Amino acid sequence: MDTLELHMTPSVVDAPVVRNPGMDLDMDWVMRTRANRSAIERRAGTLPGRRSVKKDYQAAWLARAISCIDLTTLAGDDTEGRVRRLCAKARQPVRADLLEAIGLPDLKTGAVCVYHDMIPAAVDALKGSGIPVAAVSTGFPAGLSPFHLRVAEIEESVKAGAHEIDIVISRRLVLSGDWQGLYDEMRAFRAACGEAHVKAILATGELGTLQNVARASLVCMMAGADFIKTSTGKESVNATLPVSLVMIRAIRDYYERTGMLVGYKPAGGISKAKDSINYLALIKEELGDRWLRPDLFRFGASSLLGDIERQLEHHVTGAYSASWRHAAG
């Protein structure tokens, strides 16, 4: 089996995503889940060497990557002005002349991701664009604030206009093997989100083993996560291809068992255009083309867009420009 599309009719491939309602916690399934590190690393290691796209094909892949970026600012010195500039960049992520040259004048990013206090500015700046606002929540990035405050933070962000909520799980629940506790926490976060989509951040660099990553991925999906996400971007180790392979295969297993399509978001450390193509190729090979759309795949990134824009300028003009000519906002 090369991709899940072998199991999908054309109508399913083109259908809108139905939100994942979750299911009862299946501990037998969780505990049967294993991760062979050497096999996973070997498979992930073959990807950069086997997949190379050039010229128009490369430009098309890079444009797809842009459409799947959650353009992000999560700094302590964020201001409304910075967020509005970032939103303007989300509306027109690449210079107009370059977009015209590659035939994609309406290209925009998948979302803009901010802290709670910046939601009103982002919502106002993106009005009429169709670009959703995502907000990090639940005591991001550590997730160690009191539980009732984490739930209340979600509710406040939804009330402020966020369309998507990126929550952080309690890593200690994974490290101690408290899968029921993780399930209950995720269910509560899912309920607090209401109509807003919820992305579960696993902080994979702090979970110890790939087996823990696989089990945490499954539990969060069972509890109703619409997306599973690698990292906050604040850990010492963030998104990697081996971790992505583990999470993507958990998504595949969940789809085959339940028929529900759950999204994937690698975040942190993805800053080069060539890296974005590796992640897209991995998604295509493991899950299929349906996951190569922003409703099921996102990059959590702040600097990635600048490098992609440089590559697109080289594609159009034959010359590389300085990175400062492609500011994030």
Point out the catalytic residue in the list 166, 226, 275, 307. 166
What DSSP assignment string belongs to 84-134?
A: HHHHHHHHS-S-HHHHHHHT-TT---SEEEE-GGGHHHHHHHTTTT-PPEE
Q: How many CB atoms lie within 10 A of CB 109?
A: 28
Q: What is the rounded distance in angstroms from the CA atom of residue 234 to the CA atom of residue 68? A: 21
Q: Strands 111-114 and 133-136: what pairing?
A: parallel
Q: What is the crossing angle of helices 210-222 and 179-193, to 10°?
A: 50
Establish whether 265 is a catalytic residue: yes
CA distances from residue 166 to 54, 125, 190, 292 in whole angstroms, order as listed: 34, 20, 11, 20
Point out the catalytic residue in the list 229, 275, 284, 307. 229
Q: Strands 164-168 and 197-201: what pairing?
A: parallel
Q: Kind and range of the H or E element at 172?
A: helix 171-175
Strands (E), 152-196: 164-168
Establish whether 166 is a catalytic residue: yes
Q: What is the rounded distance in angstroms from the CA atom of residue 93 to the CA atom of residue 157? A: 25
| Residue 191, CA atoms < 13 Å, CB-side half-sphere | 8
Q: Kind and range of the H or E element at 136?
A: strand 133-136
Establish whether 229 is a catalytic residue: yes
Point out the catalytic residue in the list 89, 265, 275, 284. 265
Q: What is the rounded distance in angstroms from the CA atom of residue 157 to the CA atom of residue 118? A: 10
How many angstroms from the chain centroid is the CA of residue 107?
18
Sole residue written with tokens 């550590």? 142
Catalytic residue numbers? 166, 229, 265
